[in-house]
Amino acid sequence: MTHLSGYRIMWLMVLFDLPVVEREERRAYTRFRNYLLDRGFAQAQYSVYVRHTAGKEAAEALIRGIERAVPHDGKVDILLFTDKQYENIISFRGKANRFHPKNPDQLVLF
């Protein structure tokens, strides 16, 4: 029986700072944001998106795609950490209830 391990499941956190002064810069921002959303990322904060993957290989494939999608004048940082590390994130919110992605349910394949 194969179990998903909290040490194998990886999370990507994409943080970006893109210029949005000119019309074309805003378009590039929107294209990049939609690129992330189309690949299953969820918005954690403004310009911060997260997604889990089944392992490091899948995470690295996403990272290569993100690298190709970065707008010319943009700055993008990616944090990569295990599910076990992700569960230790401490998060505070005000009264507005915002989306917080939950850890994926563990699957048992037989």
Cβ atoms within 10 Å, residue 76: 18
pLDDT in tens, the chain (110 residues): 455 665 689 999 999 999 999 999 999 999 999 999 999 999 999 999 999 999 999 999 999 999 999 999 999 999 999 999 998 888 887 876 666 666 666 665 65
Residue 61's pLDDT is 97
Is residue 95 in some structural domain? no
Number of domains in the chain: 1
Residue 82 β-bridge partners: 10
β-pair type (10-17, 2-3) = unpaired
The answer to whether residue 104 is domain-embedded is: no
Which residues are part of a known binding site?
17
Residue 109 lies in a domain: no
The CATH number assigned to the domain holding 62 equals 3.30.70.240
- Distance from C-alpha of 86 to C-alpha of 90, rounded to nearest angstrom: 9
Residue 12 forms part of a structural domain: yes
- Supply the range of the domain harboring residue 64: 2-86
| DSSP character string of 35-69 | HHHHTT-EEEETTEEEEEESSHHHHHHHHHHHHHH
Residue 108 located in a structural domain: no
- Backbone CA torsion sign across 30, 33, 37, 42: negative
Residue positions in the annotated binding site for Mg(2+)?
17
